[in-house]
Amino acid sequence: MIKFLTENIIVIVSIIVYGIVFVIQKAQFKKQNEIMSKYEKVFAIFNIDEIEKYVELQKKSVNLSFGNREIELSNLENEFSKKLNEIEETLNSSKSNLEKSKEISNSFINAFNSTKDFNKELHEIIKNEFAEMYAIIEKSTIKSKNPELYKEIENQLINTAKKYNEQKMELLNKVKADEI
């Protein structure tokens, strides 16, 4: 009996140990299942395939944005070169216009200077003409009131006017010759 009793005690203790181990393993199994389900939920949130797709989309987006920037830069470069060409054309035409303006200005200065000289000479001629005519009239009035004298005075005045008209015409011809 003692043998039976010791055997039974050993069997009962073994069953209890197996039961405790079973309960402990079951608890550990439940904990692992809970942990695995949490990891599954986390992995479901961070779906690797979706993350890879997102990363690929980001790469494509970056490539497109760089492509768009290159296109924008080339467009800006084309616009800049057009503006630069327009500026160069304007500058070149301004230089030729400046040269033409200088030529016109020089021609005007020459014409103005020759006109000044012409006016001075014409003024001197007219001044001399009227001084002579005044002298003739003054002399004739001093003399007498004779009709023949008046004819003589008139002829002298006509001759004086002809002489100065010839000088004026020579001056005008001189100016015309200078212009050509």
Which residue in 169, 160, 103, 167 sits closest to 134, CA to CA? 160
Contacts of residue 157, defined as CB under 8 A and 6 or more positions apart, other chains included, come to: 133, 136, 137
Angle between helices 48-143 and 147-179 (to 10 degrees): 160
pTM exceeds 0.75 for this model: no
Each residue's pLDDT, cut to its tens digit, for the chain (180 residues) gives 567 788 888 889 999 999 999 999 999 999 999 988 887 877 666 666 677 787 788 888 877 777 777 788 788 888 888 888 888 887 777 767 777 777 777 777 776 666 667 777 777 777 777 777 777 776 766 655 666 777 777 788 788 888 878 887 887 777 677 665
H or E, element range at 50 = helix 48-143
